[in-house]
Structure 1
């Protein structure tokens, strides 16, 4: 279905500005019956405002899956972008509307839209807002774990910057690179800035480097408050090397993956490896 522009109004020196249409308003407010009536009366579901927002964007931003379904069934374009490059799926992930996310994906929405200087991926949006259900679904649908946003970096950077533990855990279990850098800054730097001891512990468990320096020459601990829990935690790991058991778990997780590691742990194979290495040394 062809995209059309909303009615344009002239405001003197300001220029032309497209009005939001009744279809946009109905979608934004979750008025499903009114939305159906407008569509049946011939209103376009792909009409756009000056910033290229469609009614589908509005329905997703406000987490109205009933309106999302109506629009999609009426032919709404699923991957249309705003002037900032965001797709409806980006907005649905940001809103944490798992029902809307599922509807969009089922209608062919791209989980890996191309990124620009102004856009983040749907997975980034879910991590920024702290929506683990959306993170889990995006990962299951093949979202790129190392997709790079110029502001945050990877989705793991975003989850740690916003201190969303559950999202960070899902990413790490799925194989996200714990020491990936954005201008030499890692997720550990973000966890330290957020003063989150639990995130620091989590990242260390997956092989996070507490001694790595960013482009300013600062280690993660340099971003913490003196003697805060996160500061003391990082100081401990800087001063004390990981145990052989911890190192074995990190290596096994990296080589075998999380599911295989769970099996290894149940079978107590990791302890046998440790015993063997200790005996050989």
Structure 2
């Protein structure tokens, strides 16, 4: 009886396996057929797009290309991203150029008004940014938050993208209601971007009510090299945020190196902030900065420093870049330029 039961069970299993194998085979064939069909449709759409490009009908080519990329490209639609956005953010230059040739709008926007140029600059993809600009992308486009491509470039420290944008008409200085590229570059310590902005005419003392000046931002964020560059370019060492001076910000952050730098450029150690406090009074108690400020108060100023500041004041901020051309010994020129 046990042998008969085993034979019966075996025959049943064999009978069940055959139909299952056949069904599995049919599933694989169906998947393969579906894949081949979708591939055929996409190839056909691509060929049709190329045909319309050759015939000069770029509008129809763009429409078909949008279907090829599974994207309904309509400006102002709620679709978040276009193929151009993806290609720009990933730095795929060849794909980006292909899409541009196919007629895709280089100024297409997402729901947040982000353009492909914003994405290219945020990803530090200068070749993609240049390709978009050459195709007519708006270099001063702003998102719903007011961010421009230049602000994005400065946020990630992309000197190459910053130069591309400025060379093609981007505003070096933001509008009052927009985020400031130079403040963003300074706060992140992106010295190269800040230097390019200053070269293209950004006001070194640009004051934003909730941020203060770039120098004040550098002191708050403890970016010593950025502060040094700003001061050498003629930034007002006394101008900060409202009544708070850059020296107050540096003292409060207990950044002794920054405090020393500001004092070398003539910062007023007796300046009062909004609460009528001097820098030494906002420094952390028993800190190195507090001790340095107390010692500095007790010591007289060097005559060489006073003379240097007097000469720089007489020259004026707009002409400080001419100091290197004065017929003076190189050591004196370097001294006047804080080098």
Q: Where does residue 157 of structure 2 map in the other structure?
A: 96
Matches within 5 A, 1:1-281: 5-8=75-78, 18-116=79-177, 119-256=178-315, 257=320, 260=323, 266=330
Q: Is the 8 A contact 1:63 1:92 kept in 2?
A: yes
Alpha-carbon distance in 1 for matches of 2:120, 2:331: 49
- Return closer, same or farther for 1:185/1:249 CA change in 2, 3 Å cut-off: same
Q: Could you report, residue by residue, the CA deviation over 1:68-123 in whole angstroms, capped at 9, with x for unpaired residues? A: 1111111100111112222111111221111111111111111023121xx33222
1:34 alignment partner, SS class: helix
C-alpha distance in 2 between matches for 1:265 and 1:50: 59
CA positional deviation for 1:266: 4.3
Is the contact between residue 215 and residue 240 of structure 2 (CA under 8 Å) also seen in structure 1?
Answer: no
**Structure 2, unaligned stretches of length 5 or more?**
1-73
SS at match of 2:118: helix
8 Å CA contact 1:153, 1:181 repeated in 2 = yes
Give the direction of change, closer, same or farther, for the CA distance of 1:49–1:182 in structure 2 (3 Å limit): same
What's the offset of the Cα at 1:241?
3.4
Q: Which has the higher contact order (CA 8 A, sep 6+)?
A: 1
CA RMSD of aligned residues (A): 2.3
What is the distance in 1 between the residues matched to 2:266 and 2:195? 22
Larger helix percent: 2
Q: Distance in 1 between matches of 2:226 and 2:283?
A: 22
Looking at structure 2, the residues matched to 144 and 70 of structure 1 have their Cα atoms a distance apart, in angstroms, of 29
Task: Report SS of the residue matched to 2:202.
Answer: coil
Give the superposition deviation at 1:244.
2.2
For 1:236 and 1:258, the matched residues in 2 are separated by: 33
Distance 1:46 1:216, change over 3 A: same
Q: Is contact 1:111-1:121 (8 Å) kept?
A: no
Q: Deviations over 1:26-63 (max 9, x none)?
A: 21122222222222222111011222111111111121
Aligned to 1:274: none
- Larger Cα Rg: Structure 1 or Structure 2? 2
TM-score (norm 1): 0.83
- Report the TM-score when normalising by structure 2: 0.70
Rounded Cα–Cα distance in structure 2 between residues aligned with 1:106 and 1:132: 19
CA contact (8 A) 1:156 1:176 kept: yes
Residues in 2 aligned to 1:243 and 1:188: alpha-carbon distance in whole angstroms: 19
Change (3 A) 1:29 1:193: farther
* 1:64 positional shift: 1.1
